[in-house]
Structure 1
Amino acid sequence: MFHKEGQKIILITFFIVVAAVLASEYFISIPWLRMSVQILVLVFLVLILQFFRNPKRKVTKSFDEILAPVDGKVVVIEEVEEPEYFKGKRRMVSIFMSPFNVHVTRYAASGVIKYSKYHPGKYLVAWHPKASEENERTTVVINTPKFGDILYRQVAGALAKRIVNYAEEGDSVHQGEDAGFIKFGSRVDLYLPLDCIVTVKLDQKVTGAKTCIAAIKEK
């Protein structure tokens, strides 16, 4: 199944590929060159299809856990100052998505959207230290029953040219549901309470709506 944000691009790519294959049959007389062109455009179509795939996942919802909002690799786990909303220290977990990962953003927890804001910006590589502050990004805060307010930030990368964010203030959202999409390479930062237990490690690969990122600290 493919994400709705990719429908237009998939359709355009399909027609371009069909046109390229037909044109190669008429205008390229060298067999190996014609075959190479056809294989190349078909590979391009496959890459577009895999980028916009949207696998359906059965979510085991839990108020005691924060689930990964995206597929990717954990690149940062540290205590940082969050200047936009909390204006204080939070525990940040950052997940980097390569162009080969599923790029659907999913709600990491159930709750009510308290804050949702888009910020235009630069297109530094997604792992750049300043990417979270200077790149195009969206900031969303969910008020949850157990963790209180948690914040996630969709950050565009060097290739990403459009961030899609479905979160609107006042919405009630459910863990694992579709929250948006980032096109062509990006990262998502989670800002969590300092007293939560982070359950992932650096360089660990995570799966959106499946991998537990953090849990409630037992009292």
Structure 2
Amino acid sequence: MQCLLCNRHFNKRLTIKELLWPQPIEWPLICEHCRSGFTAIQGSTCPICCAPQATAMVCRECRYWQKRYPWKLRHTALYRYNEAMKDYMHRYKFNGDYRLRMIFTAAMTAAVATQSADVVVPIPVTEETMQKRGFNQVVGLLTGINLCHCLGTRVQHKLAQSSKNRHERLQTPQPFKLVEPAHLGGQRVLLVDDVYTTGRTIYHAAQLAYDAGAASVTSLSLAR
């Protein structure tokens, strides 16, 4: 097998169960060395946004959002946004290597299944991004999941969040619009994004979901 990230050839050592159990064998897509670079979020985190930290207290970002919105948005993230994840996102999103979605689709599918949601809404990308990249990186991570594409973007071109500092991110005006608001009335909505940084993007989307009559809104991201 060849690792999708480092291109090295590697072997998988089959267990006794895999040898004897009459089920398809799940072959790894990346080698153990590359896999070890990704760090799952464990231990103490902010109870609202899942930010890794030394205590289980509500973090500064969430205290900021609590002052601006009358509702709390519980967020779940799977991995830390470390150097390995940063490099992965660069290659997947900005270099447009669509194969790399497969590395985390199983983890994201399993995570969505643990959420109490009626509707799963991916964060959209602009038409310019779709034309340039050819895919929405969030949708790519959610293969096999029934999605509600009820959010659209207000602008055709926008500055990438990754290029902004914290103040610029927090001051970003509403970038989304509802294109099918009727789908959210009375529903438990799960918003999904690739990376949660300050929460600005997710809170913009959540506000529109509540405006459309959503009963509750939670969110999920691959990285935090």
TM-score range, shorter chain: under 0.3
Where is the strand percentage greater, Structure 1 or Structure 2?
Answer: 1
Higher relative contact order (CA 8 A, sep 6+): 1
How high is the TM-score relative to the length of structure 1?
A: 0.24
How high is the TM-score relative to the length of structure 2?
A: 0.23
